[in-house]
Amino acid sequence: MLLLHSVVAMAAAASNITTDESALIALKAQLTVDADHTLMNNWTIGSSVCNWVGVVCGVRHKRVVALNIRGMGLMGTIPPHLGNLSFLVRLDITNNGFHGTLPRELANLRRLKFISVVLNNFGGPIPPWLGALPELQFLYLSNNSFTGTFPPSFFSNSSKLEDINLYGNRLEGKIPPEIGNLRNLKKLVMESNQFTGSIPASIFNISTLEIIGFSYNGLSGNLPATMCYCPSKLQVLALSWNNLDGEIPSALSECSELQTLSLSVNNFRGRIPWEIGNLTMLKKLYLGRNNLEGEIPHQLGQLKLEVLQMQSDGLTGLVPPVIFNISSLTYVSLVNNTLSGSLPMDMCHCLPLLERLYLFGNKFTGRLPSSIGNCTSLKDFSLSHNNFTGSIPQEIVKLGLEGLDMFDNSLTGVLPSDIFNISTLKLLSFAMNHLTGHLPRSISAWSPNIREIYLGQNELSGTIPDSISNASKLYALDLAWNSFTGFIPDTLCSSESLQLIDFGGNYLTSKSSMSQPNSFNSLMKCKNLRTLVVSYNPLSDIVPVTIGNLSYLEIFRGDNCGIVGNIPGAIGNLSNLMTLNLQDNYLSGTIPATVGQSQKLQYLNLAGNKLQENLTFLGKLLVQSNGLSSVIPLSLWDIKDLLVLKLSSNSLSGELPPEIENLNVAVVIDLSRNQLSGELSSSIGNLPNLAEFSLAQNRLQGPIPQSLGGLISLEFLDLSRTNLSGTIPGSFEKLSYLKYLNLSFNKLEGEIPGHGPFTNLTAQSFMSNKAACGMPRFQVPPCPHTHKRPTEMLVLRYVLPIVASVILITLVLVFVLTRCRKRKARIPNQDNVFLVTTTRRFSYRELFQATSGFTEDKLLGKGSFSSVYKGVLSDGLTVAIKVFDLQIEGSIKSFDVECDVMRNTRHRNLIKSTCGSHKCSVLFVSNDQMVLLIEYGSEGIVSTKGDVYSYGILLLETFSRKKPTDEMFAGEMNLKQWVKESLPCAVTEVIDANLLMDDEHFTIKEHCVKSIMELAVSCCAESPEERVDVKDVLTTLTKTRVEFLKNTQTKTTQAVRI
């Protein structure tokens, strides 16, 4: 009998292992990629399943109890057959490329204790059946694409769960309070999802919980005041990068086993609780980027901290000296606060382990402590943007520093030459101080590992030594605004690693004679150069043809350098060029047409040279401030593709001819500050797309033509200081888009209109027109009113209506007789009926909404110059909308041809409409070869600084990843206002999260983006006069970029994410 039972048991076992084998073979069949062919070659029928790679069988039943195929480079889906592995206890498929969903059949694995699908591509909701696995203890679903909410039912039968990790998915909704039922839970990590709402208080009632990780979500509300009242084993509380607010509860001190407390990047306010000093086991404290205030509690000096991070918190006062007695510290960041006082002279006597010390952006004063030499582990030392004085301690050269940043202080004395020989040094920044001395000439004095040198705005002198070429990894060299003399070394670019060179504001000269100057030649060897600044040096050089070899060059500033000769045509080879400034030199000849090949060019300044008048090569941008004289050539008005004409600040004379109407696609015409004369041509009114028109400060005369009221797209009109006379045309009341009007300092008379755009204008628009009258708000006298005599009133009341009626009846009879005769003379043709009065004008927003933002799903087709989209108008009419790409040469001509065809075509399906929105144009033109100096944005304001406004909106869109037309901007809220309200303390709430990951560079990136957004808001000021100048925009961005590069490249600090 016993023998028979054994035979039956053996037969059952054989049958069950066959089931396991079939399940695994089904998994193998679902693979689309087996990178190393491991399973393909090893999992074969005929060999023992228990000997297969990644398979573990139980000793007793000989069934598969563990499947571990992690990191094998597999791709495919999980088959339902895997649910037949009924003895499976452990399933680990981590770090592969599996996708799809987890099959429902896995719920049959009732013995399963461990599941890890980390680092795959699974999607869909988290399967509720996972919570029904009675033995499950470890659940790892991190780094996938799971979506939806966390089902509360998940926790009904999961009483044995100890570890849950959902990091890096797309889960949303509230965190279920039912998690508090998991009485054995030790680790709960739900970071980097999209959870919202408050943190359930029930979670803090789990006495076994050791780790809570909720960082990088959208959680809000206060922390419970009783969060640590229950007996707690909590060791890690990571809540950074949320929207939590309120005060930090002092009850945290009851979590006596807490080792890591991360509350950074929230909205906590108030003071830092001194009770945190009672957390005797605390090692890492992250409180940065909140709305805290007050001083740093001295009780923190009682702790054995390793990491202390409190940047951008608004903290004031002194740093308690006891902080520098915490011998376990390795990382300290107190940047961007308002801390003051001096550093203790013995600060490094008790900090043998300190590796990173960041104190920049405060108000520290005093001398640098000489004890810095005792911080023997120090790698990064940044005290920039403070008020330190005195000399640089010699002891600093003994440290194995990687980054040394003293930017923007008041340091004096000689720059130690030995500092360049620190073999580990990668970043050296002493810019904006008062240091003197020379650069070392010895080759051995330059570390081959140094990558960035920023010494600009000091008092350094001497020559730039050839030995600098020994710094073979150098890619940023800033020596601007010192007193360097001599020549640019021939060997400077021998390593070809340099990307940024700023020699501006020195006394560098050309090496050879004036007949063949070549100070630029050595720079042309820097093949990877992206920024080149040599402004304000007496180079007296020519721009060589070889500049076209710098294919990566983005910024070239050579203004005020005495540059002579022509602009080489090879400059058109610089496909990445964004800024070209050769202002105030001695350039002559014409601007080469190849400049038009620089598709990314955003800023071009050639003012103050001797360039000739042939400036129409682009058809979109003309150069200002070049001393051009004589009359404007008639050939200029024949450039039918001209979008932007700016010839301001020259000496042009003569009259504006009627041919100006040929510029029928022009959006901007700026001829201000010249010597133009004569009367305004009425043909100007035939420019339907004109949005900005300025003739300010010329020598015109005569009246303002009524025809200017036909400029239906006009938003900006400046005719100030032009000696005009007569009345202000009433037709101006029809200019519904007009936002800015300046008619000041003329000889205008009569009543100022009060309707249409005039309702939003102020007295500034009409000042110094002595004969003008109108409403009191225009600060002019009231207009006189003539009182009619009774006889005149009788004539107006009785005689005039009778005469008018007779005239009207006569006209009707003539009209009817004429129509009858015409009907007899020809056969009617209904297709030729086209009434101008039926023409409808569409705004850009209407077309944008009709096509859902010109999305791909609305795209009907593409041609050589344009794309056609399907749109549904607000009245339900379905239309086809063609959008021309102005970046493509010939697109405007194609547009004109099609307009001519459509104009002469009659068909019932053609919409009688017009749309000449400059907003459409600016989206394309600004990405074309030149800047389009016109402004667009959520407010639609236009000004003489329209380019600055447009650029500001572009910055806001780029760094917020929002469009002005997004649905969130409704009512009074718009993109600019949204960003403005976040400044200066909450800019991270509006920044694209992908730009600000919480790494070692986070604070530096935050400071950089904050500067950019403040600049963008300044660009978008309501009043044009309040906006920053474009030169200041460039200066600010350049300074921000340089500072960002120098602060980030070598700051490889430890990752702080929890």
The pLDDT value given to residue 625: 55
DSSP for 670-697, please give it. Answer: E--SSEEEEPPPGGGGG-TT--EEE--S
Tell whether 882 is in a known binding site.
yes
Q: Which residue among 314, 342, 363 closes a domain?
A: 314
- What beta strand segments (E) does 707-763 contain? 716-718, 725-727, 740-742, 747-751
CB 267 within 8 A of CB 243: yes
CB 342 within 8 A of CB 371: no
CATH assignment at residue 174:
3.80.10.10
Reported residue count of the chain is 1058
The percent of residues above 70 in pLDDT, for the chain, comes to 80
The pLDDT value given to residue 624: 53
| 648/628 Cα distance (integer angstroms) | 10
CB 112 within 8 A of CB 89: yes
Whether 928 and 963 share a structural domain: no
The pLDDT value given to residue 1054: 33
Residue 264 domain flag: yes
The total of other beta-carbon atoms located within 10 Å of residue 316's CB is 15
Q: What is the DSSP letter of 891?
A: H
**Looking at the predicted structure, is the pLDDT value of residue 842 above 70?**
no
**Looking at the predicted structure, is the pLDDT value of residue 516 above 60?**
no
How big is the CA angle at 205 (ends 204 and 211), to the nearest 5 degrees? 45
- 236-238 and 211-213 as β-strands: parallel, antiparallel, unpaired? parallel
Band (1037; pLDDT cuts 50, 70, 90):
confident
Residue 1039 domain flag: yes
Residue 570 domain flag: no
The pLDDT value given to residue 1018: 85
The pLDDT value given to residue 112: 97
From 194-203, 626-635, 673-682, the region with the lowest mean pLDDT: 626-635
**Looking at the predicted structure, is the pLDDT value of residue 638 above 80?**
no
CATH assignment at residue 898:
3.30.200.20
Whether 947 and 1053 share a structural domain: yes
**Looking at the predicted structure, is the pLDDT value of residue 92 above 60?**
yes
**Looking at the predicted structure, is the pLDDT value of residue 762 above 80?**
yes
Chain Cα centroid distance, residue 111:
51
Whether 899 and 957 share a structural domain: no
- The H or E element spanning position 452 is strand 452-454
Whether 892 and 991 share a structural domain: no
**Looking at the predicted structure, is the pLDDT value of residue 895 above 70?**
no
- The H or E element spanning position 821 is helix 800-825
Whether 859 and 968 share a structural domain: no
Chain Cα centroid distance, residue 363:
29
The pLDDT value given to residue 982: 77
| 69/79 Cα distance (integer angstroms) | 15
User: Residue 131's closest CA among 71, 181, 70, 83?
Assistant: 181
**Local structure of 148: helix, strand or coil:** strand
From 212-216, 566-570, 883-887, the region with the lowest mean pLDDT: 883-887
| 1000/1053 Cα distance (integer angstroms) | 5
**Looking at the predicted structure, is the pLDDT value of residue 174 above 60?**
yes
Which of 172-176, 661-665, 1044-1048 shows the highest mean pLDDT?
A: 172-176
CB 320 within 8 A of CB 343: no
The pLDDT value given to residue 826: 44
**Looking at the predicted structure, is the pLDDT value of residue 940 above 70?**
no
Whether 971 and 847 share a structural domain: no
Band (941; pLDDT cuts 50, 70, 90):
very low
Whether 925 and 983 share a structural domain: no
Whether 134 and 229 share a structural domain: yes
| 289/291 Cα distance (integer angstroms) | 7
| 581/571 Cα distance (integer angstroms) | 13
- The H or E element spanning position 806 is helix 800-825
Which class for 423: exposed (0-12), middle (13-18), buried (19 or more C-beta within 10 A)?
A: exposed
The pLDDT value given to residue 292: 95
**φ/ψ bin of 215: left (φ > 0), alpha (ψ from -120 to 50), beta (otherwise):** beta
Residue 202 domain flag: yes
Which class for 657: exposed (0-12), middle (13-18), buried (19 or more C-beta within 10 A)?
A: middle
- The H or E element spanning position 3 is helix 2-29
Whether 1009 and 877 share a structural domain: no
CB 766 within 8 A of CB 744: yes
Q: Pick the more confident residue, 216 or 606.
A: 216
| 598/556 Cα distance (integer angstroms) | 13
Q: Which residue among 281, 314, 347 closes a domain?
A: 314
pLDDT in tens, 442-501: 866 788 899 999 999 999 999 999 888 888 899 999 999 999 999 999 888 887 789 999
Q: What is the DSSP letter of 999?
A: S
What is the rounded average pLDDT of the residues 720-746? 91
| 270/434 Cα distance (integer angstroms) | 39
Band (945; pLDDT cuts 50, 70, 90):
low
What is the rounded average pLDDT of the residues 200-225? 94
| 313/292 Cα distance (integer angstroms) | 5
**Local structure of 501: helix, strand or coil:** strand
Whether 854 and 998 share a structural domain: no
Band (297; pLDDT cuts 50, 70, 90):
very high
| 615/570 Cα distance (integer angstroms) | 18
| 918/926 Cα distance (integer angstroms) | 11
**CB < 8 Å & 24+ apart, contacts of 516-524:** 517/541, 517/542, 518/544, 519/487, 519/488, 520/544, 520/547, 521/490, 521/546, 522/488, 522/489, 522/490, 522/491, 522/492, 522/493, 523/488, 523/492, 523/493, 524/549, 524/550
Whether 1010 and 1032 share a structural domain: yes
**Looking at the predicted structure, is the pLDDT value of residue 810 above 60?**
no
**Local structure of 57: helix, strand or coil:** strand
The pLDDT value given to residue 6: 42
512 residue type, one letter: S
CB 230 within 8 A of CB 207: yes
Strand order in the sheet with 338-341: 316-318, 338-341, 363-367, 387-390, 410-411
Torsion sign over Cα 576, 525, 545, 603: positive
200 residue type, one letter: P
CATH assignment at residue 1030:
1.10.510.10
Residue 652 domain flag: no
The pLDDT value given to residue 949: 79
How many helices (DSSP H) and strands (DSSP E) are in the chain? 11, 62
The pLDDT value given to residue 265: 96
DSSP for 361-402, please give it. Answer: SSEEEEEPPGGGGG-TT--EEE--SSEEEEPPPGGGGGS--S
**Looking at the predicted structure, is the pLDDT value of residue 534 above 70?**
yes
Whether 848 and 958 share a structural domain: no
Tally of CA atoms within 13 A in the half-sphere of 100 that contains its CB: 13
**Looking at the predicted structure, is the pLDDT value of residue 646 above 90?**
no
Q: Pick the more confident residue, 799 or 647.
A: 647
The total of other beta-carbon atoms located within 10 Å of residue 12's CB is 11
Q: Pick the more confident residue, 622 or 390.
A: 390
The pLDDT value given to residue 863: 62
DSSP for 273-315, please give it. Answer: PGGGGG-TT--EEE--SSEEESPPPGGGGGS--SEEE-TTS--
Band (13; pLDDT cuts 50, 70, 90):
very low
**Looking at the predicted structure, is the pLDDT value of residue 1056 above 60?**
no
**φ/ψ bin of 31: left (φ > 0), alpha (ψ from -120 to 50), beta (otherwise):** beta
Tally of CA atoms within 13 A in the half-sphere of 604 that contains its CB: 27
Q: Pick the more confident residue, 648 or 502.
A: 502
Average pLDDT, the chain: 82
Residue 460 domain flag: no
Band (1034; pLDDT cuts 50, 70, 90):
confident
The pLDDT value given to residue 839: 47
Q: Kindly report whether the peptide bond that precedes residue 984 is cis, defined as omega within 30 degrees of 0.
A: yes
**Local structure of 194: helix, strand or coil:** strand
Torsion sign over Cα 367, 373, 377, 381: positive
Phi, psi of 912 (to 5 degrees): -85, 95
The pLDDT value given to residue 171: 96
**Residue appearing with tokens 């009345």:** 727
Band (918; pLDDT cuts 50, 70, 90):
very low
**Looking at the predicted structure, is the pLDDT value of residue 824 above 50?**
no
Residue 1011, domain extent: 943-1057
| 977/1022 Cα distance (integer angstroms) | 11
> Taking the C-alpha atoms of 36, 40, 42 and 48 in order, what is their torsion angle to the nearest 10 degrees?
160
Global model pTM greater than 0.75: no
The pLDDT value given to residue 663: 86
CB 474 within 8 A of CB 501: no
Q: Pick the more confident residue, 126 or 803.
A: 126
pLDDT in tens, 768-801: 888 899 888 888 899 886 444 444 444 445 445 5
The total of other beta-carbon atoms located within 10 Å of residue 309's CB is 24
The pLDDT value given to residue 229: 82
How big is the CA angle at 1051 (ends 1050 and 1057), to the nearest 5 degrees? 145
Q: Which residue among 261, 281, 314 closes a domain?
A: 314
DSSP for 117-186, please give it. Answer: --SSEEEEEPPGGGGG-TT--EEE--SSEEEE---GGGGSS-TT--EEE--SSEEEEEPPGGGGG-TT--
Residue 958 domain flag: yes
- 555-557 and 564-565 as β-strands: parallel, antiparallel, unpaired? unpaired
CB 618 within 8 A of CB 645: no
Q: Per the structure block, which two tokens stand in for 25?
A: 């073979």
- 284-286 and 121-125 as β-strands: parallel, antiparallel, unpaired? unpaired
SS3 content of the chain, % helix, strand, coil (to 5): 30, 20, 50
The total of other beta-carbon atoms located within 10 Å of residue 322's CB is 15
Residue 869 domain flag: yes
| 165/142 Cα distance (integer angstroms) | 6
Band (645; pLDDT cuts 50, 70, 90):
confident
pLDDT in tens, 1003-1023: 778 788 888 888 888 888 877
Q: How many domains does the chain have?
A: 3
